[in-house]
Amino acid sequence: MAVEKITMPQLGESVTEGTISRWIVSVGDKVNKYDPLAEVMTDKVNAEIPSSFTGTIKELVAEDGDTLAVGEIICYIETEGGGEAEATADAPKEESAPAPSAKSEAPTAPAVEDDADAPNKRRYSPAVLRLAQENNVDLEQVKGSGAGGRITRKDIQAVIDSGNIPTADSKPAATQAPAAEAPKAAPAAPAAPSAPAAASAPKAAQPVNVPVEAGDIEIPVTGVRKAIAANMLRSKHEAPHAWTMIEVDATNLVEYRNSLKSEFKKKEGYNLTFFAFFVKAVAQALKEFPQINSMWAGDKIVQKKDINISIAVATDDALYVPVIRNADEKTIKGIAREITDLANKVRAGKLTSAEMQGGTFTVNNTGSFGSVQSQGIINYPQAAILQVESIVKRPVVMDHGMIAVRDMVNLCMSLDHRVLDGLVCGRFLARVKEIIEKMSKENTSIY
């Protein structure tokens, strides 16, 4: 027999962790290859983790509600095979069992006392590093409950919740490693670069003691909502956001689209929305201003060749960003169809992780709920996001001082100032404005 491990997959671009929302299997269950094992939530998608093997569930390393970094082990499966694989996979399980008294000593137990029994102790995940550094927790003094003594996010959270947070300054002198053993602890230091954002992450807000009175409703924060919050915090913390807005006269576009919408719906079976015209305009402008279609990569800026437009689709409790690939090569009709299909998949819970990967620029239809001005948070690691606001009738001063009622729309753009400057963004928005204002029956084909 052999024991194989299943790890947390990467369920979307820039996704670094996932939350087990529900185990579908239990220890002892027999599963076939590709059978679903667990439901996982991230800030981008809800998905099932399939089994990579046929066999019997031997151990569930994570529990419902646990958040694990991509690549961390979530369970072990016993399969038919050679003994060598079994020994390799079994080792972490046997070593992960803590001594009976370990739980009471967890907040202060020095790491140097259990190095021999915890070969994986210093293999910290990005989530563990971030949480520990946000709360000034000395990982050397935390007892891990994971495989091979590995410290999990749950271990750190338990220490924080206990209020007895071990810091480097609070380590007792008796627990310091002898000088001869110093090199043994050295590998702990290089672990930090595996999560470059962690070193500069903002201090986590301490839980607020909000009085709960009769009639108040307490709503637990779901895994997907926690993941969204973490991704938004990362974007706002790492990317210096700047913001700009431009007014666009969409009168000709409104007249053109309204003249087509009934016949289009009857012929094609789905709506011809204003949003499809805006996405097309943005895709065309991105082709002319490729600097906008870029991402920050630490020591370099990556200017993407493909123009893949992420669109924001909201449900009652989450926000998803499916991608229209090669939007510059699609017609307005094709874009309208993809918008409809992707939105339907989101609301039916059928969106796949593949349909959310590869986005290079985000367009958000905030006007769909009446907004006229907003500042979007950039969809990390993209360089910018454009908010298409509500089209409203406003009096506008025309040529020769005449006043006319026109259909006006605000386009609001948030940009990462590490990648983009105001000049190129201003020119980009001016081009989007020009394209939209020229859209009409005479100048624009939807096919």
Give the domains, in start order, of the chain with CATH numbers. Answer: 2-180 (2.40.50.100), 239-437 (3.30.559.10)
With H, G, I as helix, E, B as strand and everything else as coil, classify residue 199: helix
Contact 386, 327 (CB under 8 A): no
Nearest-5° angle of CA 200, CA 359, CA 73?
Answer: 60
- The pLDDT of residue 54 is 93
Count of Cβ atoms closer than 10 Å to residue 25 Cβ: 18
| Tens digits of residue pLDDT in 373-394 | 999 999 989 999 999 999 999 9
Q: In the predicted model, what is the mean pLDDT of the chain? A: 82
Calculate mean pLDDT across residues 51-56: 93
- The pLDDT of residue 56 is 94
Q: Which of 132-136, 277-281, 350-354 has the lowest mean pLDDT?
A: 132-136
- The pLDDT of residue 298 is 87
Percent of the chain with pLDDT over 90: 51
Calculate mean pLDDT across residues 54-63: 91
Q: CB-based burial of residue 393 (10 Å sphere; 0-12 exposed, 13-18 middle, 19+ buried)?
A: exposed
- Token pair of 155 as six digits: 């271990």
Most distant CA pair in the chain, distance: 88
- The pLDDT of residue 405 is 97
Percent of the chain with pLDDT over 70: 78
- Token pair of 187 as six digits: 């590998």
Q: Which of 111-120, 143-152, 158-167, 365-374 has the lowest mean pLDDT?
A: 111-120
Contact 78, 55 (CB under 8 A): yes
Separation between Cα atoms, residue 79 and residue 178, nearest integer Å: 43
**More confident of the two residues 248 and 112:** 248
Separation between Cα atoms, residue 202 and residue 428, nearest integer Å: 32
Q: How far are the Cα atoms of 15, 27, 58, 238 from residue 75, in angstroms, in the given order?
A: 20, 9, 8, 33
Total-model pTM = 0.63
Count of Cβ atoms closer than 10 Å to residue 192 Cβ: 14
With H, G, I as helix, E, B as strand and everything else as coil, classify residue 437: helix
DSSP state of 426: H
Label residue 200 by pLDDT band (50, 70, 90): very low
Q: Which helix (H) or strand (E) holds 126?
A: helix 126-134
Count of Cβ atoms closer than 10 Å to residue 306 Cβ: 13
- The pLDDT of residue 104 is 38
Label residue 123 by pLDDT band (50, 70, 90): low
For residue 192, what are the β-bridge partners?
none
pLDDT exceeds 50 at position 4: yes
Separation between Cα atoms, residue 42 and residue 219, nearest integer Å: 19
| Tens digits of residue pLDDT in 149-188 | 778 777 888 888 887 888 776 665 544 444 444 344 434 3
- The pLDDT of residue 188 is 39
pLDDT exceeds 70 at position 33: yes
Calculate mean pLDDT across residues 363-379: 95
| Tens digits of residue pLDDT in 413-440 | 999 999 999 999 999 999 999 999 999 9
Side-chain-facing half-sphere of 397: CA atoms under 13 Å: 2
Q: Which residues are catalytic?
A: 417, 421
Contact 341, 272 (CB under 8 A): no
**More confident of the two residues 236 and 126:** 236
